[in-house]
């Protein structure tokens, strides 16, 4: 049997592809014992399917891939996705931050909509099928695979029907298809089945893979001193990344202390830029360092008998954080008039120029997405078909595309599926 389309991977983009492939004989191959495992975990099981942000601003959340994703997101926008699920009787809600969820706040309902559509399309799903390789082969009208010599001898014969198709090899079977969609995800949340299989498959096809690493992940700090403040957050903190005393990048956003290091949007969304041994310089107040210094010195002069800790608490800092900093510098019972110049300098640096060293970025077990993947140069950005291999499509996180948190990665998964399926269907019309 030759399928019109075989989809490798039953995640978000794979299931949505299957849901859209009406009228074509379709097979989804999933290595796990059920489909949609990672999709079921997204948004803490509530499934943040997209974001209501204006589509013109949407692209900015895809870092250096923003120009690549434009035609894909324009072809199937966030509003199109919401309308699709609404038509399938899955009501959605939009939070104040723009994140869109199923009204039930249950990821299972999203998966069930897609499975229902696949069943309606008479699509097949085969579980426990780990794909080990894909090759292009030629077959005759009797489905016999021709070796190179046979192909050369027969290709020019009149009335000889020879077709080029794909043969997909799994751990216990093989399948044939006219079109193949690779939608196996990245390397994050490996217990859901996303463990880099797609990169190995594509690498065997001589396609260029950009080196991968965890993204949307917390960081672990060396000699971490804020473990007892885990859960404490700072609004609009500033962080700067330094490598060999040279500033690399600077960011602003909400920061969170964890048991081992740092998290929060300002860390999660920019962890793709971090590496071990880099230095993070943190401005917990997010204000200009010089302005803070001048203001703090004035407060000290105007309140000579006031305890340092009470002056510091006049700023937008929690009592727990202030006490931690004061204690670490042995200033707990010191008044403003008794504060030495070097002590003042250390205190100011602790608040608006706090230096920390990254031990590591948390691994794939906590990373929400994968940085890297199949090079964007390998695919047509209007169709997601491989430039070197006709009828082979690569979707979602398998590509070298990652986005910030907030529903942007899932939106690309769905949009990329729409674009690929649209192109496949057009070939049959």
**Per-residue pLDDT tens over the stretch 325-365:** 999 999 988 999 999 999 999 999 999 999 999 999 987 77
What pTM did the predictor assign?
A: 0.88
Cα–Cα nearest to 395, from 2, 18, 1, 131: 18
pLDDT of residue 154: 65
Cα–Cα nearest to 384, from 369, 371, 402, 400: 400
Low-confidence ranges of the chain (pLDDT < 70): 142, 147-149, 151-160, 188-196
Mean pLDDT, rounded, of the chain: 92
Q: How far is CA 308 from the centre of its chain?
A: 43
CA angle 145, 151, 155 (to 5 degrees): 120
Residue boundaries of the structural domains of the chain: 2-213+364-428, 218-362
pLDDT of residue 153: 64
Question: pLDDT tens for residues 27-83?
Answer: 999 999 999 988 988 878 899 999 999 998 999 999 999 999 999 999 999 999 999
Question: pLDDT tens for residues 183-202?
Answer: 998 776 555 545 668 898 99
pLDDT of residue 159: 59
Alpha-carbon span 358 to 343, nearest angstrom: 26
So what's the architecture of 2-213+364-428 in CATH? 3-Layer(bba) Sandwich (3.50)
Measuring CA to CA, how many Å separate 31 from each of 9, 37, 186, 191, 376?
7, 11, 14, 12, 25
* Residue for token pair 């559509």: 117
């Amino acid at each position: 049997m030759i399928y019109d389309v075989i989809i490798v991977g039953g995640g978000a983009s794979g299931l949505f592809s299957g849901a859209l492939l009406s009228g074509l004989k379709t097979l989804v191959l999933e290595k796990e014992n059920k489909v949609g495992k990672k999709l079921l975990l997204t948004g803490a099981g509530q499934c943040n399917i997209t974001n209501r942000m204006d589509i013109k601003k949407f692209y900015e959340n895809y870092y250096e891939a923003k120009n690549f994703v434009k035609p894909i997101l324009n072809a199937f926008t966030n509003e199109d996705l919401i309308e699709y699920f609404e038509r399938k009787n899955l009501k959605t809600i939009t939070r104040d931050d723009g994140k869109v969820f199923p009204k039930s706040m249950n990821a299972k309902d999203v998966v069930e909509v897609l499975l229902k559509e696949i069943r309606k399309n008479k699509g097949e799903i085969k579980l426990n099928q780990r794909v080990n390789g894909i090759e292009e082969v030629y077959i005759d009208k009797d489905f016999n695979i021709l070796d190179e010599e046979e192909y050369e001898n027969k290709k020019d014969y009149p009335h000889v029907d020879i077709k080029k198709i794909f043969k997909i090899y799994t751990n216990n079977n093989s399948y044939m298809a006219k079109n193949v969609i690779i939608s196996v995800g990245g390397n994050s949340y490996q217990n859901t089945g996303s463990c880099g299989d797609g990169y190995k498959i594509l690498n065997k096809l001589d396609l260029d893979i950009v080196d991968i690493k965890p993204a949307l992940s917390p960081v672990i700090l060396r000699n971490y001193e804020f473990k007892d403040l885990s859960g404490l957050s700072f609004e609009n903190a500033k962080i700067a990344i330094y490598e060999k005393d040279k500033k690399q990048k600077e960011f602003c956003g909400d920061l969170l202390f964890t048991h081992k290091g740092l998290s929060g949007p300002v860390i999660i969304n920019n962890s793709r830029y971090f590496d071990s041994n880099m230095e993070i310089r943190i401005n917990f107040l997010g204000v200009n360092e010089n302005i803070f210094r001048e203001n703090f010195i004035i407060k000290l002069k105007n309140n000579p008998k006031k305890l340092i800790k009470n002056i510091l608490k006049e700023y937008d800092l929690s009592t727990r954080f202030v006490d931690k900093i004061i204690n670490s510098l042995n200033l707990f019972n010191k008044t403003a008039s008794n504060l030495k110049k070097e002590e003042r300098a250390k205190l100011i640096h602790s608040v608006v120029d706090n230096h920390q060293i990254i031990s590591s970025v948390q691994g794939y077990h906590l990373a929400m997405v994968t940085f890297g993947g199949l090079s964007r140069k390998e695919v047509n950005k209007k169709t997601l078909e491989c430039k070197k291999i006709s009828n082979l499509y690569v979707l979602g996180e398998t590509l070298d595309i990652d986005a910030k948190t907030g529903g942007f990665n899932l939106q690309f998964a769905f949009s990329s599926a729409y674009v690929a399926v649209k192109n496949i269907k057009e070939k049959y019309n």
